[in-house]
């Protein structure tokens, strides 16, 4: 137990608010978008900058508290909030400075993707982030960052050129190719295992309007769409990113849709995307030239906060005929009309040309990532939806590799975490031994120290 006097002392030290149960704002601050997660930290510290973060780390260490770190709060595993302990909340740290001459962006880690994109687009620039604008840049980038620009410019973490990290001993370290290079390698894929990242510096790229959107086919055509998707994906240029899958439209129609973004000249994108829009009669075609900001918020209405979410995900070994038939068999079958499953992201281009050991993020060689992203509204629907997601995953398991993209999975225990880091795991354990030997930062897909 932490006594009230100690919390009061932290409150006086901090520039940001310190909230305890019963205080105004406490319940809002502990609530994350995934309603499956309902936890009550002893203290929530809303940091305003690195000094607050250092104060929180020292406080947690002195009182032997569990630490959860919240960026955008979108961890589907609920890792950004703890029961008891301290939630170090970075979500009000929204400083950002774009340097148009160097095409770099220094961003604090409470920013969401939408906030980041808005600032960079003011200068006609962008970098790879995810595809739902309310997601936090921090968790997304530290764990990977697949999005509409990954094939042209690499994953979000491939664009990181530096970071400030508060380590378990309360130091603030600058990491980049010249300083603390080992930690620079580790934060690009190791999630929050080594410290609290207070700001990230990104490379950015010129980007004007794009051509993209979604084309919808009936769920019953899933097999044909998947077959076309596989063949088409083998031919596309780095400018184009595609994904496909099963979901239900707001008017309750089960569809198997393909979403796309072409980030080169829009008129060229229209030509490149023609085969995708004409290979069969679609139910609807919502593709056009649009601003990048419009495209980046296209999925937002499908992911409102407050739904219950359970996700399983693994890369597909080979999208062969057998796999296609098995995946298509689950299209339109989820018990919930808010679910996106089965869904497949295509990974290619620049992100897959980075070496497995060049960053801590190992997933560079499998082009198709399967997601079973189940969402529902009422707690009473949990059993049915989790059971369906697991049975779908069991049936598809023979077609999947062991490792998965950690940002997409619920809490599945230690062996899962180990597989998620793949061949980089042992090197990551070495870094953990060096920077966090007591496993102070363990609310994450955890790399266990052995020292
Ligand atoms: C609706 C939705 C859409 C998504 N779309 C995509 C997508 O298109 N592409 C993609 O790649 N991923 C996507 N994701 C997955 C997303 O990348 C992860 O959920 C990611 O963890 C979210 O980051 P966050 O900062 O919002 O989450 P948080 O829950 O705040 O954090 C996630 C993890 O990172 C740690 N962390 C957060 N900030 C810091 C920090 N500053 N320093 C150290 N550790 C920190 C947390 O402790 C936690 O372990 C999506 C998730 C959701 C829910």
The 3 state secondary structure assigned to the chain is CCCHHHHHHHHHHCCCCEECCCCCCHHHHHCCCCCCCCCCCCEEEECCCHHHHHHHHHHHHHCCCCEEEECCCCCCCCCCCCCCCEEEECCCCCCEEEECCCCEEEEECCCEHHHHHHHHHCCCEECCCCCCCCCEHHHHHHHCCCCCCHHHHCCHHHHEEEEEEECCCCCEEEECCCCCHHHHHHHCCCCCCCCEEEEEEEECEECCCEEEEEEEEEHHHHHHHHHHHHHHHCCCCCCEEEEEEEEECCCCCEEEEEEEEECCCHHHHHHHHHHHHHCCCCCEEEEEEECHHHHHCCCHHHCCCCCEEEEEEEEECCCCHHHHHHHHCCCCCCCCCCCEEEEEEECCHHHHCCCCCCCCCCCCCCCEEEEEEEEECCHHHHHHHHHHHHHHHHHHHHHECCCCCHHHCCCCCHHHHHHHHHHHHHHHHHHHHHHCCCCCCCCCCCCCCCC
In ligand 1, the atom with minimum distance to the C-alpha of 165 is 42
Q: Does 246 sit behind a cis peptide bond, omega within 30 degrees of 0 on the bond before it?
A: no
Distance (angstroms) between ligand 1 centre and the Cα of 189 equals 12
Pocket of ligand 1 (CB under 6 A): 68-76, 79-80, 90, 109, 130-132, 135-136, 138-140, 142-147, 191-192, 196-197, 303, 407-408, 443-444
Local confidence band at 396 (pLDDT 50, 70, 90 cut-offs): very high
Q: Whose CA is nearest to atom 45 of ligand 1?
A: 192
Q: What percent of the chain has pLDDT over 90?
A: 95
Q: Which residue has the tokens 């990532």?
A: 369
In ligand 1, the atom with minimum distance to the C-alpha of 444 is 49
pLDDT score at 280: 87
pLDDT score at 412: 77
Residue 241 structure tokens? 């990113």
Residues 6+ apart with CB under 8 A from 407: 139, 140, 143, 144, 145
Average pLDDT score, the chain: 97
Distance (angstroms) between ligand 1 centre and the Cα of 145 equals 9
Does the pLDDT at position 250 exceed 90? Answer: yes
Residue 379, Cβ neighbours under 10 Å: how many?
A: 11
pTM strictly above 0.85: yes
pLDDT score at 410: 83
Q: What is the mean pLDDT of residues 76-84?
A: 96
In ligand 1, the atom with minimum distance to the C-alpha of 156 is 11
Q: Whose CA is nearest to atom 41 of ligand 1?
A: 197
Q: What is the pLDDT of residues 275-297, one digit of tens each?
A: 999 988 899 999 999 999 999 99
Q: Whose CA is nearest to atom 23 of ligand 1?
A: 139
Q: Whose CA is nearest to atom 8 of ligand 1?
A: 130
Q: Whose CA is nearest to atom 49 of ligand 1?
A: 444
Residue 446 structure tokens? 């955890």
Q: Whose CA is nearest to atom 33 of ligand 1?
A: 139
pLDDT score at 416: 77
| Ligand 1 pocket mutation, candidates 48, 136, 306, 338, criterion most atoms within 8 A of CB | 136
Distance (angstroms) between ligand 1 centre and the Cα of 80 equals 9
Distance (angstroms) between ligand 1 centre and the Cα of 140 equals 4
pLDDT score at 419: 85
Q: What is the mean pLDDT of residues 67-72?
A: 98
| Ligand 1 pocket mutation, candidates 112, 135, 154, 436, criterion most atoms within 8 A of CB | 135
Does the pLDDT at position 450 exceed 80? Answer: yes
Local confidence band at 418 (pLDDT 50, 70, 90 cut-offs): confident
Q: What is the mean pLDDT of residues 42-64?
A: 98
Q: Whose CA is nearest to atom 9 of ligand 1?
A: 130
Closest CA to 188 of 401, 328, 361, 72: 361
In ligand 1, the atom with minimum distance to the C-alpha of 112 is 26
Q: Whose CA is nearest to atom 34 of ligand 1?
A: 139
Answer yes or no: are the C-beta atoms of 187 and 142 closer than 8 Å.
yes
User: What is the CA angle 103-106-112, rounded to 5?
Assistant: 110
Local confidence band at 104 (pLDDT 50, 70, 90 cut-offs): very high
Does the pLDDT at position 417 exceed 90? Answer: no
| Ligand 1 pocket mutation, candidates 140, 187, 345, criterion most atoms within 8 A of CB | 140
Does the pLDDT at position 357 exceed 80? Answer: yes
Beta pairing partners, 255: 218, 247
Local confidence band at 411 (pLDDT 50, 70, 90 cut-offs): confident
Q: What is the mean pLDDT of residues 223-252?
A: 97
| Ligand 1 pocket mutation, candidates 80, 141, 166, 339, criterion most atoms within 8 A of CB | 80
pLDDT score at 51: 98
């Amino acid at each position: 137990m932490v006594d009230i006097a100690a919390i009061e002392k932290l409150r006086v030290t901090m520039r940001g608010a310190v909230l305890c149960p019963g205080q105004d704002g406490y319940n809002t601050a502990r609530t994350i978008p995934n309603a499956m997660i309902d936890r009550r930290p002893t203290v929530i510290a809303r940091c305003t900058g690195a000094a607050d973060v250092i104060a929180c780390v020292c406080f947690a260490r002195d009182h032997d508290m569990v630490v959860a770190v919240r960026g955008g709060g979108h961890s589907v595993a609920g890792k950004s909030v703890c029961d008891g302990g301290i939630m170090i909340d970075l979500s009000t740290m929204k400083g950002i400075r774009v340097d148009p001459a160097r095409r770099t962006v220094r961003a604090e880690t409470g920013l969401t993707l939408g906030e980041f994109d808005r600032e960079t687009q003011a200068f006609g620039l962008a970098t790879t982030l995810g595809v739902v604008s309310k997601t936090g840049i921090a968790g997304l980038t530290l764990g990977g960052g697949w999005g509409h620009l990954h094939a042209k410019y690499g994953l979000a973490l491939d664009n990181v050129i530096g970071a400030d990290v508060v380590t378990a001993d309360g130091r603030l370290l600058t990491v980049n190719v010249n300083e603390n290079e080992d930690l620079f390698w580790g934060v690009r894929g190791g999630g929050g295992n080594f410290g609290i990242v207070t700001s990230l510096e990104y490379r950015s790229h010129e980007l004007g309007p794009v051509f993209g959107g979604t084309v919808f086919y009936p769920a019953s055509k899933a097999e044909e769409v998947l077959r076309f998707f596989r063949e088409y994906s083998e031919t596309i240029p780095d400018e184009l990113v595609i994904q496909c899958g099963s979901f239900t439209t707001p008017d309750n129609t089960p569809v198997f849709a393909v979403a796309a973004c072409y980030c080169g000249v829009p008129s060229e994108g229209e030509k490149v995307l023609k085969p995708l829009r004409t290979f069969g009669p679609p139910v609807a075609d919502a593709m056009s030239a649009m601003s990048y900001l419009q495209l980046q918020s296209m999925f937002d209405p499908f992911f409102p906060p407050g739904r219950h979410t359970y996700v399983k995900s693994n890369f597909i070994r080979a999208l062969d005929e057998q796999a296609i038939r098995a995946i298509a068999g689950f299209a339109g079958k989820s018990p919930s009309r808010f679910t996106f499953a089965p869904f497949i992201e295509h990974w290619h281009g620049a992100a897959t040309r980075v070496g497995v050991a060049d960053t801590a993020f190992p997933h560079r060689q499998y082009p198709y990532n399967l997601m079973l992203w189940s969402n529902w509204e009422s707690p009473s629907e949990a059993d049915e939806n989790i059971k369906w997601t697991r049975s779908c995953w069991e049936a598809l398991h023979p077609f999947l590799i062991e490792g998965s993209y950690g940002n997409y999975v619920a809490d599945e225990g230690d062996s899962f975490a180990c597989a998620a880091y793949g061949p980089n795991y042992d090197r990551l354990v070495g870094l953990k031994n060096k920077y966090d030997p007591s496993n102070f930062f363990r609310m994450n897909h955890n790399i266990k120290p052995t020292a």
